[in-house]
Amino acid sequence: MSALPPSIRLESGPGGLARLRVEGVAGEAVVYTHGAHVAQWNPVDADPVLWLSRRSRFTRDTAIRGGVPICFPWFGPHPGRPDLPSHGFARLAEWSLLEAREVDDDVVLAFRLTDTEATRASAWPHRFDATYTVRVGAELTLELHVTNLDDHELSYEEALHTYLAVADVRATRVTGLEGTPYVDKLGGPDPVRSDEAVTFTGETDRVYLDTGPITIVEDVAGRRAVTVTKHGSGSTVLWNPWIEKTAATADLGDDDWTGMVCVETANVGGAEVRLAPGASHALTATLAVARLA
Ligand SMILES: O=P(O)(O)OC[C@H]1O[C@H](O)[C@H](O)[C@@H](O)[C@@H]1O
């Protein structure tokens, strides 16, 4: 890769993890090569849009807590191998930086992950090429593009596990999922639905099925709304750990559940991606933030 443009700096972050600090004309971000993990983003002169745990560990064998972990090639515990890392290996892997350039007022970073001896010996042994493009500006656009380099069909799950910062989750509404069936991971396997906007009164862990392209998080106490617009995604996961799960999670502080909600642009469960040899799939999420009246 040629020299970085002036708006992008390569730094050594906590734990010695390499990260790119972007200070663009329209937006600012911090992206780690560990997991190709976007840990911060905000439009210039706006508050951080992504939530990042103050207790996050920054080590090569754990995922950063907050920002946008990439879940791939499985979501949650591996179905047959609970000993394997939750949410797959991508968020624990070192991605290589392919590209870093300015495009108009935005900054575009691209990262690559391919199969290694270790992944080929794992429970997901396929040959693949994954490219992750991060466009930082007044909006944040994330695209995970996966190609099957193998000689047989493969399937995978994926999620851009986006932690959004809110002033108070108890005063937050999520719209765009009304009437959409969801599997409540804390309830039974049969999908249920609600015609109401989502509000939060307890632990929430839902996989919405056949979702439309737009979900809006209305952070009423913070007087702003974040719109997540997506393509190539059949499911949306909504998560807040609430009190007990937060207390049981080492890299979350006791009150952290109040200040975040995850809207995860995903293809999980029955919406897993199946790729013929040579075929590709792109999953895209765009975040935009606006003031609420
Ligand atoms: O703690 P992690 O492995 O990062 O997972 C955090 C959460 O991710 C998703 O939202 C899942 O639906 C949850 O069941 C899980 O608790």
Q: Residues 6 or more apart from 264 whose CB is under 8 A from it?
A: 71, 159, 160, 161, 162, 236, 237, 238, 239
Q: What CATH number belongs to 8-291?
A: 2.70.98.10
Query: Are 23 and 4 spatial neighbours (Cβ–Cβ below 8 Å)?
Result: no
Assigned token pair, 204: 């929430």
CA distance 239 to 222: 19
Domain ranges of the chain: 8-291
3-state secondary structure of 30: strand
- Is the reported ipTM for this assembly greater than 0.90? yes
Tell me if 260 CB under 6 Å of ligand 1: no
pLDDT of residue 2: 67
66-91 pLDDT per residue, tens: 999 999 999 999 989 999 999 999 99
87-117 pLDDT per residue, tens: 999 999 999 999 999 999 999 999 999 999 9
CA distance 188 to 244: 20
In this structure, the chain runs to a length of 293
Tell me if 185 CB under 6 Å of ligand 1: yes
Q: Relative to the CA of 238, which ligand 1 atom is closest?
A: 10
Tell me if 87 CB under 6 Å of ligand 1: yes
Query: Are 269 and 235 spatial neighbours (Cβ–Cβ below 8 Å)?
Result: yes
CA 170 to ligand 1 center in whole angstroms: 20
Q: Relative to the CA of 63, which ligand 1 atom is closest?
A: 4
CA distance 262 to 204: 10
The whole-number average pLDDT for the span 154-181 is 98
CA distance 31 to 95: 11
